[in-house]
Amino acid sequence: VIALDDVVAAQERLRGVANRTPVLRSRTLDERCSAEVFVKSESFQRSGSFKFRGAYNRISSLSADERERGVVTFSSGNHAQAVALAASLVGTKAVVVMPKDAPKAKAAATKGYGAEVVQYDRYREDREALGRALADERGLTLVPPFDDPMVMAGQGTAALELIQEVENLDVLLVPVGGGGLIAGSATAAKALLPDCRVIGVEPEAGDDTRRSLRAGRRVRLPEVPRTIADGLQLQSPGELPFEVNRRLVDDVVVVSDQEIVRAMGFLFERMKVVAEPSGAVGVAALLSSKVDARNLRVGVILSGGNVAADRFAHLISGGNTSLTM
């Protein structure tokens, strides 16, 4: 589906546009895991998450004609903001299909990047169908959140940068939602460091990729998983990412919401960095010993930091049930 060359080409397109995000260390984290841990912090990426990498890689590769017409995506999360920002930088128009009841801050952030927001009723309308209808009607190019080789290759630049900076890694931990980030990351990691184990991390309630890898085919969870990790609330793996991940991902481990909140608190207090719930799952897996890292060099992709301060406050104070969306 994709190869190292695609990730390297994406890195070229992103040069001078995406941030080269810092790799953070913590003596305390190293001691707790008896390991050397390198945290690639995509919280500091433009738009606040790794999603900018894939979106910009795709949108900057549009033909002149496609660029003239614009792009469309359906998402209420980080991908929407990333597409909106990438489109504005490339000088094309973005349409984002978003539920009517999405948090006002998310719609505002997306509009702030210059995108048009089209609202839909999440109980009565199918966002994907609506997105495709808009694409057909207006001649827009669909930029999917993960099921696209250019998007996957772009996401892989996070791992590529990490490996370029720290060189050897024995293990790489990557959050798994639709699977685009880990597919791109595993493509880069396995090509450059064949002995590096690539381990996905999912929320306990949303372990669709773990189940799918075990089954050898894409499994669909019966309902939208209830977890605070809103970026990872997928019912089934993306088709193209799964083709990559079934071959390259060594294992998937799961973490509970409580373990995620603890990791967010650790990252806040010890490493002074903001992680959204989905972004903290790698560190959560380490702190809760879901991965045996002893005496190893461990890379962790902290995928993003888009969490409102009051939501963080609520989670840290122990109130998480009302915020599973």
Q: Which residues in 288-307 contact a copy of itself (CB under 8 A)?
A: 305, 307
Q: Which of 6, 14, 43, 200 binds a copy of itself (CB under 8 A)?
A: 43
Query: Closer to a copy of itself at the Cβ: 148 or 161?
Result: 161
- Residue 7 sits at the vertex; the CA angle it makes with 5 and 8, to the nearest 5 degrees, is 65
Distance separating alpha carbons of residues 227 and 205, to the nearest angstrom? 6
Query: Catalytic annotation on 76?
Result: yes
* Smallest gap from residue 234 Cβ to a copy of itself (A): 24
Residues 10-29 vs a copy of itself: string with x where CB under 8 A?
------------x-x-----
* Smallest gap from residue 108 Cβ to a copy of itself (A): 12
Q: Which residue has the tokens 């799952």?
A: 281
310 touches a copy of itself by CB under 8 A:
yes
Q: What are phi and psi of 202, to 5 degrees?
A: -120, 160
Query: Catalytic annotation on 206?
Result: yes
- Residue 252 sits at the vertex; the CA angle it makes with 247 and 258, to the nearest 5 degrees, is 160
Q: Which stretch binds a copy of itself (CB under 8 A): 90-98, 185-193, 209-217, 262-270?
A: 262-270
**Active-site hit among 41, 75, 76, 185:** 76
- Residue 325 sits at the vertex; the CA angle it makes with 114 and 86, to the nearest 5 degrees, is 25
Report, in angstroms and rounded to the nearest whole number, the Rg of the chain calculated over CA atoms.
Answer: 18
Cβ count within 10 A of residue 8: 15
Distance separating alpha carbons of residues 234 and 219, to the nearest angstrom? 11
88 touches a copy of itself by CB under 8 A:
no
Interacting residues with a copy of itself (CB under 8 A): 22, 24, 41, 43-44, 48, 264-265, 268-269, 272-274, 305, 307-310, 312-314, 316-317
Residues serving a catalytic function are: 51, 76, 202, 206, 208, 303
